[in-house]
Amino acid sequence: MTDRIRIYISAASDLMDERETLNRLIPEIPTSLGWRVTQTPLDGRDVDLNAVAGADVHILLLGGDVRAPVGLEWQAARRAGRMPALFSRREGLRTQAGEAFARELARYGEWRAFKDTPDLRRQVAALLGDHLIASAARYAILPDEIERIRAWRKTLARAKPDDSRAAGDKGVADAGGVILSDERFTPSQGRLISQ
């Protein structure tokens, strides 16, 4: 049993809006689980290979090109026996390197096409909701929480596309994060601040 889910998001810098949208999605999921989200570093830092190998859910996004270190993250996941969920932007041109990468990964899994950022958000939300429900015993998710996740999951299908990112919002697309719920975690030092 674990009370924290580890997410790894592999995405190059041409997918900043998508990275930011997925970061904002995580706290919306109605669960008391803690979340650890790690992403492809964009500033030349080393890839956290332990985070890649230990991810409960690894999401790999492909836009117009494959850029370092996304290929390294893919290899590390495969060496660890993990299969990332593959998402590819449907529209737009792709470089030769991007096309070659897409073909190579298609040998291992199916690409899920997304037409825009709201579409990606809906698909990843569904993926995460399904993962939590399927892994309820592992995460010690109680029946009432499962029902909240199921109800939230149903609203996704009915929701209108909405990507309300504020203009000029710098967001946290280059940062990792940890989200903890006061239902499962009590801080050992300091105070818990709630919204």
Residue 118: give the domain boundaries: 4-163
pLDDT at 183 over 60: no
Instruction: Give the pair of three-digit tokens for residue 74.
Output: 């893919």
192 within some domain: no
8 A C-beta contact, residue 11 and residue 174: no
Contact 15, 70 (CB under 8 A): no
Question: Could you give the CA distance from residue 189 to residue 152 in angstroms, rounded to a whole number?
Answer: 33
Q: What is the pLDDT of residues 98-141, one digit of tens each?
A: 999 999 999 999 999 999 999 999 999 999 999 999 999 999 99
Q: What is the mean pLDDT of the chain?
A: 85
- pLDDT, residue 139, reads 94
**What is the pTM for the complete model shown?**
0.82
Residue 106 included in any domain: yes
Domain total of the chain: 1
Q: Tokens at residue 81, please?
A: 């026996």
Query: For residue 27, is it within any domain?
Result: yes
SS3 assignment, position 144 = helix
Instruction: For residue 143, give the CATH number of its domain.
Output: 3.40.50.1970
Could you give the percent of the chain with pLDDT greater than 90?
68
**Per-residue confidence (pLDDT) for residue 178, from 0 to 100:** 52
Residues in a beta bridge with 35: 5, 179
Query: Would residue 177 count as lying in a domain?
Result: no
The CA-CA-CA angle for residues 117, 25, 154, to 5°, reads 90
Distances from the Cα of 139 to the Cα of 6, 53, 75, 83, angstroms = 11, 19, 27, 20
Residue 190 lies in a domain: no
Task: pLDDT band for 171, please (50, 70, 90 cuts).
Answer: very low
Longest dimension (CA), the chain: 51
The token pair that represents 21 in the structure block: 């949208």
In this structure, the strands spanning 57-62 and 85-89 are parallel
Residue 13 forms part of a structural domain: yes
What is the pLDDT at residue 190? 54
Q: Are 83 and 106 in contact (CB under 8 A)?
A: no
